[in-house]
Structure 1
Amino acid sequence: MIKRCVIGVSVAALLSVLPAAAKPLRVKFGVLRQPHSSETLSILDLPAEDDTLAGALIGVADDNTTGRFTGQSFEAIDEKLASGEDAVAAAQRLLDQGAIAVVADLPAGDLLRVADALKARDALLFNVSATDDSLREEDCRANVIHVAPTRSMLADGLTQYLVWKQWRRWLLIKGSHLEDELFAKAIRASAKKFGAKIVDERIYVDTEGGRRSDSGSVQTQRLIPPLTQGAGAYDVLIAADENEVFGNYLPYRSFDPRPVAGSAGLFPTSWDASHEQWGATQLQNRFRKEFRRGMNARDHQAWVAARMIGEAATRAGSADPKALSAYLLGPDFSIAAFKGVRLSLRPWNRQLRQPILLSDGRMTVSVSPQEGFLHQTSELDTLGVDKPETKCRLQ
């Protein structure tokens, strides 16, 4: 009897702060996702068939828990692109099926094309995977909300920890792909920002081998030691390897015994399947029970996007994209994401403020922003491009 009373009071308290729904409201959003490469260095990193979608489905279930009390229901429509399929046409199909928003797991170029195509239809686009700073800067769009962190946020999260540890001298090894250079650029900017020093920089050229099928004579003991030899005195070996060509070969194979960070070793991420703090175990357990695997960063970002849609629709009492956008960008919006603080949007470029986890793949080693890195508005704004430096002019 006591338990029933407590539950009744909790529901009453919830309903008292929510707008009364004039009629049942059904909210649909699409999940537009690209196929991810299975060319990974470790068989443990092979992408799941339901990658990204699984997080959105858990988010929909959470939205519907609240929706049962407010007369609202939520539905996610899956649209997985085939290789070479046009993302714009797929996004249009989702809107034709009644989606008022699209949770997008797309590369930067496709994301921009979809954003421009959907502008005339007043649909919101939630970016849950592209980390390109340009999407929040010179190529920013008013109808795109960025749940995924930027490369500069990831780099700053890692740098703050290394500087806090007084590991300020780095050897940077980058891959030969464009994405590797973009991450290396973020690392260089972060080192300058927080007072670290890159003592040497080297390039690992992708020979397009079979990766996991290579015998070891190409990319392991015989190649890594000379690549890392003669760099002088340094504290940490930083890898910029977004295409997973060489980064995981660096630990235990470098010429000097040094920790590895960046794309391997200690890596910055928005989420990791090993994260347990601040009640995250509850979400991890639910996810694992439902999908029989760990929750990765794309899954979590899709979950956050689904929760943002649910929260905005509930608070605004509407499924109108303009009403949702107004609430999300307003002063009252914040959302819990099992990361220690409530998250909010940077109104000048639509980027979600969030802590950055530092993980070794087995556990969370630390969480940035680190102690002592202060900001006049939010310590989360010490991560990434801040408002005074932004190049964003929303279109």
Structure 2
Amino acid sequence: MRSIAKTLACAVLCVGGMSAPSEAADIRLHYLRQEVEQPPTLSNLEPVPTDEGRAGAELALEDNATTGTFMGQTWTLQSTHVAVDGDFTAAVREALKTTDLLVLDAPVDDVLAAADLPEAQDALLFNTAAPERALRDEACRANVLHTLPSRAMLTDALMQFFVARRWTAIVMIEGTKPGDLALGESYRDSAAKFGQSVRRTQSWEDSGDLRRNASQEVPIFTQGLGKYDVLVVADELNDFARYIPYNTWMPRPVAGSEGLRPSAWSPVVEQWGAAQLQSRFEDAAGRQMRDRDYAAWAAVRAVGEAVTRTGASSAPELRAYMLGDSFELAGFKGRPLTFRPWNGQLRQTIPLTHRGSVVANAPIEGFLHPKTELDTLGLDAPESRCTAFGK
């Protein structure tokens, strides 16, 4: 099975008019992860893998090397994990001594600090972990491309589904952690973007052990939400959200951080060759692919595609090609993936899934755009305050 999957992957990666480099190319990438101390959560059923992100980059490197064998390319990937109290900027400086192609798995402040280094101005940095809108908006950097969807792309996807289903009475439970508050704000912005509104929001304060008391606490808590069509949960770590479905006072669908979830990737995506990607990842990593794995995979594969098509290997040449009209990445998501030339965000479909299957893929049919419907998700060019890309 694995050999068949590899053959299919090679077929996807190797088709098309490739431009062979004039001489053998040695392409080096460096994956850097800033470890972040996570707050305690109610459940330990889904611990964060220690190789999250890196495993996706390593699989993509294997994909690149498969094609590179026939193109005179040599691919290497170095990995650095910076401790919670470590100096991420120093690690970036060290990495830039050997390559100008970096894959960053780090919070927004660390991404900005890395991008602003003098040594990094002609480098190409991929953001695979920070979903903040500002990175694609007023705080954008010309040397940073984003393969992780922004929060806005995810929340827009869910709101499009609500509009299509005519679920207009929307209420929300919002956690109190910074990520929860940012996610809740993004849901409110997305609702307004598509002519909706979140009618009522209740703040979830940590109270008791939901593993034992959810059936008693959640109905009482949600009774105050009144009548509604759908309940959105803004809980970025999926801490308390998992205990909300089937415990609400009103028998209504739950969405957001639990129930119907928007994500960059999901283990239940099977179409468009995704099952083969899932299988190869599970063989290599011993677990299912997660959002940051996919984002890192897409970053390394984007480099591979650009190198193969252009024969170039320097960051400025590759960046110029990736932001151009000729670049496309087969991302196993139903449509070719391309970068937005005004802020460096990778356009991509967003699967809306529950734990068992795909319900829909956004953009939802009927949401039109003069260039591509993918630009209905997240910041479109007229909305973006990013000026670093000169668009």
TM-score by length of 1: 0.91
| Alpha-carbon distance, 1:318 to partner | 2.0
- For 1:53 and 1:165, how far apart are their aligned partners in 2? 38
Partner of 2:324: 330
- The answer on whether the counterparts of 2:115 and 2:121 sit within 8 Å (CA) in structure 1 is no
2:312 is matched with 318
Change (3 A) 1:229 1:160: same
Aligned to 1:366, the other structure's residue is in SS state strand
Q: How does 1:219-368 map to 2 (within 5 A)?
A: 220-368=214-362
For 1:136 and 1:105, the matched residues in 2 are separated by 16
Look up the SS of the partner of 2:321 in the other structure.
helix
Corresponding residue for residue 29 of structure 2: 29
- Which residue identity is paired with 2:57? A
Asked if residue 378 in structure 1 is aligned to residue 372 in structure 2, the reply is: yes
Q: Which residue in the other structure is 2:72 paired with? A: 71
SS in 2 for 1:222: helix
Letter in 2 for 1:94: A
Matches of 1:357 and 1:179, distance apart in 2 = 21
- Offset of 1:243 from its aligned partner? 3.4
Q: 2:188 maps to which residue?
A: 188
Please list, as runs of the form range in 1=range in 2, the aligned pairs for 1:36-55 lying within 5 A after superposition. Answer: 37=38, 39-55=40-56
Task: Give how far 1:206 is off.
Answer: 3.8
CA distance in 1, matches of 2:368, 2:159: 15
**Could you list the per-position Cα deviations for residues 261-296 of structure 1 after superposition, in whole angstroms to 9, with x for gaps in the alignment?**
011111100101221111101111111111111111
Q: Is the 8 A contact 2:89 2:114 kept in 1?
A: yes
Does the residue aligned with 2:116 lie in a helix, a strand or coil?
Answer: helix
Question: How far apart are residue 194 of structure 1 and its match?
Answer: 1.5
Structure 1 position 201 matched with structure 2 position 188: no
* CA-to-aligned-CA distance 1:15-39 (integer Å, 9 cap, x gap): 9933332321111111111336384
Native 8 Å contact 2:101 2:315 kept in 1: yes
CA–CA separation in structure 2 for the residues paired with 1:41 and 1:275:
27
The answer to whether the Cα contact below 8 Å between 2:21 and 2:310 also exists between their aligned partners in 1 is no
Structure 2 residue aligned with 1:88: 89
**TM-fit CA distance, 1:41:** 4.2
Aligned residues of 1:92 and 1:118 also touching (Cα < 8 A): no
Kindly state the Cα deviation for residue 339 of structure 1 after the two structures are TM-superposed. Answer: 0.3
- Please say if residues 278 and 289 of structure 2, whose CA atoms lie closer than 8 Å, have aligned partners that are also in contact: yes
CA distance in 2, matches of 1:301, 1:154: 14
Q: Is the 8 A contact 2:19 2:309 kept in 1?
A: yes
Rounded to whole Å, the distance in 2 between the matches of 1:170 and 1:301 is 30
RMSD value, Cα:
2.2
Query: What's the counterpart of residue 3 of structure 1?
Result: none
Q: Mean alpha-carbon deviation: is it higher for 318-327 or for 225-234?
A: 225-234
Mapped to 2, the partners of 1:171 and 1:92 lie a distance apart of 46
2:60 equivalent to 1:59: yes
Deviation at 1:330, TM superposition (A): 1.1
Question: What residue is the counterpart of 2:4 in the other structure?
Answer: none
Cα distance in 2 for residues equivalent to 1:223 and 1:18? 59
Separation (CA, whole Å) in 1 of partners of 2:15 and 2:386: 38
TM-score normalised according to structure 2 size? 0.91
CA distance in 1, matches of 2:102, 2:120: 14
SS of 1:367's partner is strand
Task: Indicate if the aligned counterparts of 1:152 and 1:385 stay in contact, CA closer than 8 A.
Answer: yes
Unaligned runs of 5+ in 2: 1-6
Partner Cα distance (2:115, 2:261) in 1: 30
Distance 2:170 2:378 in 1: 20
1:363-386 Cα deviation digits (max 9, x unpaired)? 222110111111011000111111
**Shift in CA distance, 120/292, structure 1 to aligned 2, threshold 3 Å:** closer
One-letter code aligned to 1:383: L
Match of 1:4? none
CA drift of 1:181 comes to: 1.6
- What percentage of residue pairs aligned between the two structures are identical? 42
Give the match for residue 3 of structure 2: none
DSSP 3-state at the match of 1:75: strand
Q: Post-superposition shift, 1:40? A: 4.5
- The alpha carbon displacement at 1:92 in A equals 1.5
Task: Name the residue aligned to 1:100.
Answer: 100
* 2:74 match: secondary structure: strand
Task: Tell me how far apart the structure 1 counterparts of residues 236 and 16 of structure 2 sit (CA, whole Å).
Answer: 47
Name the SS for the 1:228 alignment partner: helix
What letter matches 2:171 in structure 1? Answer: L
Structure 2: distance between partners of 1:132 and 1:119:
24
Q: 1:323: Cα distance to partner?
A: 0.5
Q: Give the C-alpha shift of residue 215 in structure 1.
A: 6.7
Distance across 1 between alignment mates of 2:161 and 2:119? 39
Letter matched to residue 367 of structure 2: F
Q: Could you tell me whether the CA contact under 8 Å between 2:33 and 2:105 is conserved in 1?
A: yes
Task: Report the number of matched residues.
Answer: 379
The 2-side partners of 1:394 and 1:363 are apart by 39
